[in-house]
Chains A and B, each alone.
Chain A
Amino acid sequence: MSTPEPLGSIFESIARRWRTRFIEAAVRPPAGKHVLCAYVSTIDRCLPVTEPLLQAMIRESGVTAARIADARGAASLPGGRATTRGDVVLALLWSLEHQGGRIGVDEPGVLDWLSDLFARFGNDETPGGAPAAMIDTLTRLCREPNAAVFTVFHSEKQASIYASGIRFLTADALGRLGDVDAAAYHRVRMDRPADPDVRNYPLSYQTGEHLAWGPDPAERVRVANGPDRLICTARYLHFDVAGHVSSGAPPASIDRIFQFPGLTEIQRDAATATVAAAYPYMTLTGLQGAGKEQRPAIERELGMLLGKVTLHIELSGPRNLDWLKELLPRYVSSVGVNDDELPAVCQEITGATAAADGQYDSVWAFYQDARALAAAFDLPRLYVHTHLADLVLRREPVEDDELLAEILADLYAKWIVSRWLGMRTSSGPLPDVDLKREGLEALLTFMAQVAGLSGKSLFGWLSDTARLAQKGYFTVADDYAVALIPVAWFHGSLAQTIITTGAGDRTSAVSFVQSCFSQPRPVAPA
């Protein structure tokens, strides 16, 4: 079926209505929900890749021209883990020319080198990981009064870099819960042994950049795909004050989500039950990293949230879905994912994808995958965020008001995230943000397909298309209701260059909290 020839009046009408919605959404008050963002947080030190940095890395790693040439021609990111400085350099060069990614670094010497390198080239340490991004957005930008963060480990170093005003869930020696702000939590940590950290070293770059590390024309790369980044990351380790890996204490492992140190098992269970009662909304990140030996205890904890907590998970980063795909249908009510990750996730879970070579050629195509994924996990809610138009699937029955709330929640999320991106990118006035024309066109095209020409006159079809595009949602009996929201984005050159790393976690959290979605997974019948 072809889509209708775009009518200027219909497009303008839709654009005007959605712009008005965007204005309304931008000043939504805080939702006020008691939401907890848990449970793995990191310390990140992001650097843009520059020629001096690249030259220093190559010089200090001692990699040869021959090794560089081999690595640049490799079919995929060289190696899953880096054991030498050279491994990091080769992975970076490959990423610059092909695609960003993640490389594990466990070797203390390499981590110490990265720590010194990043300190030398400057950039502040920031809290990393989805819980940190989510709580930062909910607290500082959305002004949510009842949002808190819980991290399994929380070193003094990590506590010191969280922004003031962010509240941490704590438990005292008797398992009694409380929440305190970052500064107070830092003081709480002072009388306890140091916790381990995960330290990440993301290296970011822009599309089209040319980076030379020597005089030879072969000694340069052009960034082909971007903006993107290579993240060098490690497991939990202890660090000394200089930022070097400490050889003293062994790395800790995560045995459970709510691993309040110093409590007995009974006290931990009681504390977990209290958490479930106190925070009916929760975002959870870290399950994918849990080892097999830890899974039974974590699953028991998840069972304690059933019937009480509406749980949201953002699927991103290393997927490792083998365990997660068992958990999602039982414990998780809401999932967020971006359209870059969706094809691979859908392929892995359902055995098929509507994407060609990992890319969707239409909103209709990613709607097909989203629907298949939601059905496979029996999800009450699925949120797909993109750079064109976001999609929310809600399992029927669902009221029109709830779908409208999803739309306003997403528009608000995009407003908040664009503000955050703008502030991160420039200290000057924020650039203009508006709904993307391409997003509105995608909405119109998608709704034209939904409206369907069969049995209708052209006028009937156009009217139905316009009506659907103005609403932005439709319901399908005994299936999933759909809301499609054009994305708001920056105008001008900034739109091409801004690095969106971390934006997915933020939009996912805001949309989840601002929507009126509340549906804990039920307790399984005995």
Chain B
Amino acid sequence: MSDIREQVRDLHSPDPVERLRAAAGLGRLGARVRETHETLASEYRSAVTSLAGALRDPESPLIRAEAAWALGRIGGLAALRRLLPRVEELFPVPGAGGQTLGAETSPAEEAADAIATLIAAVGKVLSEEVLAGLDAEDIAGLSRARESLLRHLTLAGTDDDVRVAIVETLTILSARARKAGLDMPTDLAPLLCPGGRDAILAAIALLRESAPDAGAVARRWHQRTGWQVPEDAVSALVETWEAQLGVCGPDRATLLEWLDMAAIVWDLQAAAEIAP
């Protein structure tokens, strides 16, 4: 029996430890497939189906998180189609009928780590290839998920790790959707109001999506001049900022701080290979 079949079988074991190990094992195998560009075998399709079930494992958020991580590692359209319904369960759109799939865990009961891992897994799956292959139903689901996640960011009490996962995933979505020719603008402007980390991450998303040259300038400022930012470059970026948002940007001192931060985050995200 192949490794994959064995792990898929163990995903259905009555022993939760077996299920946890199987999810972890499938994630590692999935990573190998991505790294070696192996063809996604039919065995993986059954793995994706079984992992989708494990996203709602009643035993432990560790299993649910590991299943989400594994789906992110395996990737592909099939994985996205399993992850998005779970996102919709956890972040139901108001007035859309609430939960639809009879989840064993309600959003309030789910652990923050499992939620953040699920959202991060969606980001991992969002390759240009996957986005180009979406059908109308997929696009509608992705749009709903995007709106729910955006709205969730503005809620008080959202776990920090969940917030970061949301912003990172929306950053990836906004950048790659455009490249894939999808009409899916991500309005991150509301995030600029509260200030702080979310605003910075959103600013980066905007710069990266809409003004790559300005972003590159910001990066060079930081690297070459440390904390000093040239006046003309600031003006250029303020104009870019205002043009992109259609609103007045933050005051200059705040902008400078954000730009310094943006250069740092830019580097970190590039290093983490989530840059578009």
Please give the residue numbers on chain A whose beta carbons come within 8 Å of chain B beta carbons, in ascending order.
Answer: 5, 7-10, 12-13, 16-17, 19-20, 22-24, 26-27, 141, 143, 415, 419, 429-430, 432-434, 458-459, 462-463, 466, 491
A27 contacts which chain B residues (CB < 8 A)? 257, 260-261, 264
B226 interfacial by beta-carbon distance below 8 Å: yes
Q: Which of A7, A432, A462, A463 contacts B267 (CB 8 A)?
A: A432
A430 contacts which chain B residues (CB < 8 A)? 223, 267
Q: Are B223 and A459 in contact (CB under 8 A)?
A: no
Interface size on B, residues (CB 8 A): 45
Interface residues of B in 211-236 (CB under 8 A from A): 219-220, 223-224, 226-227
Q: A10-B113, A459-B62 are in contact. List 6 more A-B contacts (CB 8 A).
A: A9-B27, A9-B69, A12-B120, A13-B113, A26-B264, A430-B223
Q: Are B65 and A13 in contact (CB under 8 A)?
A: yes
A419 contacts which chain B residues (CB < 8 A)? 226
B265 interfacial by beta-carbon distance below 8 Å: yes
Chain B residue at minimum C-beta to C-beta distance from A427: B224
B24 interfacial by beta-carbon distance below 8 Å: yes
Instruction: Report the separation of the CA atoms of residues A491 and B28 in the bound assembly, to the nearest whole angstrom.
Output: 23
Query: In the complex where A16-B161, A26-B261, A433-B267 touch, is A9 in contact with B62 (Cβ < 8 A)?
Result: yes
B68 interfacial by beta-carbon distance below 8 Å: yes
- Closest CB of chain B to A145's CB: distance in Å? 13
| 30 A-B pairs whose Cβ atoms sit less than 8 Å apart in the complex | A5-B21, A7-B65, A7-B69, A8-B28, A8-B70, A9-B27, A9-B62, A9-B65, A9-B66, A9-B113, A9-B114, A10-B62, A13-B113, A16-B116, A16-B120, A19-B268, A19-B272, A20-B161, A20-B164, A23-B265, A23-B268, A24-B197, A26-B264, A415-B264, A430-B267, A433-B271, A434-B268, A459-B60, A459-B62, A462-B62
Query: In the complex where A7-B66, A17-B161 touch, is A429 in contact with B113 (Cβ < 8 A)?
Result: no
Q: Which interface residue of A9, A10, A430, A433 has the most chain B CB atoms within 10 A?
A: A9
Interface residues of B in 173-198 (CB under 8 A from A): 197
Chain B residue at minimum C-beta to C-beta distance from A423: B226
A16 contacts which chain B residues (CB < 8 A)? 116, 120, 161, 164-165, 168
B197 contacts which chain A residues (CB < 8 A)? 20, 23-24
B250-276: CB near A (< 8 Å → 1, else 0) gives: 000000010011001101101110000
Q: Are B73 and A8 in contact (CB under 8 A)?
A: yes
Instruction: Report the separation of the CA atoms of residues A119 and B40 in the bound assembly, to the nearest whole angstrom.
Output: 63
- Closest CB of chain B to A247's CB: distance in Å? 44
B164 contacts which chain A residues (CB < 8 A)? 16-17, 20
Instruction: Report the separation of the CA atoms of residues A141 and B226 in the bound assembly, to the nearest whole angstrom.
Output: 8
Instruction: Report the separation of the CA atoms of residues A491 and B269 in the bound assembly, to the nearest whole angstrom.
Output: 13
A5 contacts which chain B residues (CB < 8 A)? 21, 24
- Closest CB of chain B to A24's CB: distance in Å? 7
- Closest CB of chain B to A173's CB: distance in Å? 38
A433 contacts which chain B residues (CB < 8 A)? 267-268, 271
Chain A residue at minimum C-beta to C-beta distance from B65: A9
B129 interfacial by beta-carbon distance below 8 Å: no
